Amino acid sequence: MGKILGIVNQKGGVGKTTTAINLASCLALNGLKILLVDCDPQANATSGIGFPRDDERHSIYDVLTGDATAKEVLLPTQVENLTLLPGSKNLTGANIELANAEDRALRLHKVLEPLQGEYDLIVLDCPPALDLLTLNSLSAADSLIVPMQAEYFALEGISELVSTLERVRASFNPRLTIEGVLLTMYDDRTNLAQQVTETLREFFKERLFKTVIPRNIRLAEAPSHGKPVALYDPRSRGTEAYFELAAEYMERNNIPNPKAEARKAAAAEAAAAGKTSKTVRFWPYG
């Protein structure tokens, strides 16, 4: 059964949606079957993966309110192995419409549970707020990645998030853990970035990802073309960084890398064929 991974930070502009899109895409390109769920009313993950805004299209909002099933709303993407459960601006209303429902914090969990067996991983792009939609995401997730910039305001925000996680664990989801903290828009030339990195390493220890996501113009450009950076510019620093993050995530969770294993097998086969060819070729002269 596939895990549910939330990409969460109540602070906006930290590369949360960029991480959700590109981590999901890189994992899919490595051969894992991935579902990306856009839980944000801004629906940036939906447009960033290639689906323009469409008020008539069903979204996760319709699933949460019971007007559609998840399977009716799923969309195949241009990335092999990656499926999207799209968001929409209507999600803003869900905060109000679900407020008095008895299961208001568990709607998303109930929606995603039947889908877990069909995917290796479900990635949630959470809203930049600690509202009912985020509470649903935290209640559904098994673990979280927290993207953040290397600045002091981010340190204050993450302490608030950790406090929220403790309350969610106690009330709704005791299995919830922080998978790791990811530094984004990183510039290691500044003293501030290095100081914040050291502070985070002291507090989170091994949960701070070794991979850092650099400031990269291709990462900023890709969403306007409706593509993950791996399709927009496969050779960019941003693409390299997110493939490294995908590899680190799989290694942490002991998830086999299908594409890497296929490449190793092909290389071994080619090497064996080359050795055989060389032996046959030079045998008369041996």
pLDDT tens for 104-158 read 899 999 999 999 999 999 999 999 888 899 999 999 999 999 999 888 777 777 7
Alpha-carbon dihedral angle through residues 169, 145, 49, 31, given to the nearest 10 degrees: -100
Q: Is the pLDDT of residue 284 over 50?
A: no
- Helices 152-171, 191-204: inter-axial angle, 10-degree rounding: 20
pLDDT tens for 229-280 read 999 999 999 999 999 999 999 999 999 887 777 777 777 777 777 754 444 4
What is residue 1's predicted lDDT score, i.e. its pLDDT? 66
What is residue 279's predicted lDDT score, i.e. its pLDDT? 44
* CA-based nearest residue to 139, from 190, 176, 112: 176
What is residue 99's predicted lDDT score, i.e. its pLDDT? 84
Pairwise CA distance, residues 22 & 217, whole Å? 14
pLDDT tens for 2-28 read 899 999 988 888 999 999 999 999 999
pLDDT tens for 173-218 read 999 999 999 999 998 777 888 888 888 888 888 999 999 999 999 9
3 state DSSP class of 284: helix
Pairing mode, if any, of strands 82-85 and 75-76?
antiparallel
Q: Estimate the share of the chain in helix, then strand, then coil, as percent rounded to the nearest 5.
A: 50, 15, 35
